[in-house]
Amino acid sequence: MDQEETEKLPRIVIIGGGFGGLLAAKKLGRVKARVTVLDKTNHHLFQPLLYQVATASLAPSDIAAAIRHVLRNQANTSVELAEVREIDVNARIVKCADPSRLKQDFEVPYDYLIVACGTRHSYFAHPEWEKLAPGLKAVEDALEIRRRFLLAFEEADRAATPDERDAWLTFVIVGAGPTGCELAGVMQEIAHGMRRDFRHVDTRDTAVILLEAGSRILPAFPEPLAARASRDLTELRVDVRTSSAVTRIEPDAVYVGDHKIRTRSVFWAAGNVASPVSKSLGVPLTRTGQVIVERDLSIPGHPNVFVIGDLAHALQKNGQPAPGVAQVAMQEGRVAARNIIATIERRPRSDFNYFNKGDLATIGRGKAIANLFGGKIQVGGRLAWFLWLGIHITYLIGFRNRLSVLLQWAYAYFTYQRGARLITETARSAVK
């Protein structure tokens, strides 16, 4: 195909190389069109395992893959490093900045657009808390949490007083969804595994406190499974506190109402807010900034623009919004790509109907819960843990990543040791 024919092909732009955006790009790999993937990083991140980077169980390279490498065999697809600032739906232009700041802002025109740029942490009108309580969305977040977590034991080992030592050995996690519960359980396991590494402190004295504003942990799971997870956390010596909304965070304390918890380490796993890019679409948004999409995942008034993943407020058949999980993003990415293909080929579009394969959460070594096929199968314990292991290995991109993670998990299982306990500097400074 010569240059003139290529210029006549439809331009499809995908913003975001996460689960939904990457699957959409793969689906469009054989279409007669020019596909461009825009992302502010050069890698696809397997977010469900990001907490294991934060807790020194895995290295970032174990759960990430270069987007260009993943799409290298798609001749119609190009990848560009870009930080999207705004979308002009009337002019059909995506306004971008270069993340490296080495070149000027630029624009990318499109005929069809898939917006899959996800969400960030929500601190509920307290943006000042972010420096004190990092969340977990990107590799940089995980490395910062890992650094603070490991540094706390170093500080505890040389603490001058028992009170100072206890503050460094107390970790508070805000939010008891899957990420919060997984962080809490693994942190206690790691602390126990380091008991012989320090001379002046017993890491088994570590206190992990899990705070949840709601009446129970893991609200997306059936109550019996959530109760089992709570018991598992308690067995791991995690202090689970429900109906405990955080009211203030300071460098050396967290407050629940007037109750003060002395700690030097707070990690955030509560609440999300949509990317500010959603505001530039000029369509109705939810309170958290999600885009209210049509049944085919397009936005009102612009059938050539699709929004998927955590950024989309897509209703299920029961009238409830689809949850912000990877399987939803992947199914939405597939539907959006199919609808673009159908439009190009002048065929009817299809609606998005979410099929819930199930939800899993791991609590610790041999401890997990699984709610499969809409609650038809509910299991906990070691069987659920092996299901969790198998599914996450399967969905990792690349044979190298699967093999590396499998070996790391086997090493940790048989030796009770973690292989990535490195304290590294990041762009953020520690709060002391």
> Which residues are designated catalytic?
182
Read off the amino acid at residue 299. Answer: I
List, as one string, the DSSP characters of 370-391: EEETTTTEEEETHHHHHHHHHH
Query: CB-based contacts of 252: which residues, under 8 Å, 6+ apart?
Result: 167, 262, 263, 264
Phi, psi of 60 (to 5 degrees): -55, -35
Residue 282's Cβ-count burial label (10 Å; 0-12, 13-18, 19+) is middle
Report the alpha-carbon distance of residue 339 to residue 392 in Å, rounded: 28
Among all chains, which residue has been given the structure tokens 């959603």? 278
Pairwise CA distance, residues 329 & 352, whole Å: 11
Q: Are the C-beta atoms of 88 and 44 separated by less than 8 Å? A: no
Torsion of CA 267, 270, 271, 276, to 10 degrees: 0
Cα separation, 271 vs 127, in Å, equals: 13
Q: Which two structure tokens, joined as six digits, stand for 178?
A: 């899957």
Could you tell me where the DSSP H helices lie in 269-398?
326-344, 382-395
Distance between the two ends of the chain, CA-based, in angstroms? 61
Contact 171, 208 (CB under 8 A): yes
Q: 67 near 42, Cβ under 8 Å?
A: yes
Integer Rg of the chain from CA? 23
CA proximity to 340, closest of 6, 52, 12 = 12
Sheet holding 238-241, edge to edge: 238-241, 207-211, 170-174, 265-268
Tokens of 216: 């129970």
Helices (H) and strands (E) in the chain, counts: 11, 25
Q: Strand pairing partners for 210?
A: 173, 240
CA angle 134/401/153 to nearest 5° reads 35
